């Protein structure tokens, strides 16, 4: 099985920024589509950013322009740069890898993701 380990969460003030990392236990080049999800208090987990092996990114509207997903295949690491953080961004953030290949690499297809990290908490207040 693939193991994904997130880090970089913490507490920030509104308008602040954080960068999350996710290290994969196997070569990330073989994890062709990876993504970031989050689950806020009392909310369902939602996908908001994906990146394929060629570096093509897609975002949900609510993070477009504020968050940037990237990957370093040589380091087996996925990143999420978050800027202009707001209290509504408070959530547990998860990285994930796609396991079902009948879906495009996009936050529109969260059902395609089957490997998950344990999550890292981000609090904006």
pLDDT at 104 over 90: yes
DSSP classification of residue 26: S
7 confidence band (pLDDT: 50, 70, 90): very high
Contact indicator for 96, 3 with CB cutoff of 8 Å: no
Query: What pLDDT does residue 27 have?
Result: 65
- Residues 96 and 37: their CA atoms lie apart, in Å, by 7
Q: Cβ distance 24 to 76 under 8 Å? A: yes
Instruction: Give CA torsion, residues 57, 109, 37, 30, to 10 deg.
Output: -60
Per-residue confidence (pLDDT) for residue 74, from 0 to 100: 87
For the stretch 32-84, pLDDT in tens is: 899 999 999 999 999 999 999 899 999 999 998 999 999 998 888 999 999 99
82 or 26, greater pLDDT: 82
Going by C-alpha positions, the residue among 123, 114, 1, 124 that lies closest to residue 47 is 114
The distance in angstroms from the start CA to the end CA of the chain is 36
């Amino acid at each position: 099985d693939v193991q994904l380990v997130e880090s970089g969460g913490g507490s920030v003030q509104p308008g602040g920024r954080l960068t999350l990392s996710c290290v994969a236990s196997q070569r990330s080049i073989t994890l062709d589509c990876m993504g970031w999800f989050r689950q806020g208090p009392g909310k369902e987990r939602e996908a908001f950013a994906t990146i394929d092996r060629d570096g093509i990114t897609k975002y949900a509207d609510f993070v477009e322009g504020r968050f940037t997903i990237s990957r370093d295949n040589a380091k087996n690491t996925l990143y999420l740069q978050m800027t202009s953080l707001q209290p509504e961004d408070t959530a547990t953030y998860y990285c994930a890898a796609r396991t079902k290949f009948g879906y495009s690499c996009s936050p529109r297809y969260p059902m395609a993701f089957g490997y998950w990290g344990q999550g890292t908490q981000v609090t904006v207040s």
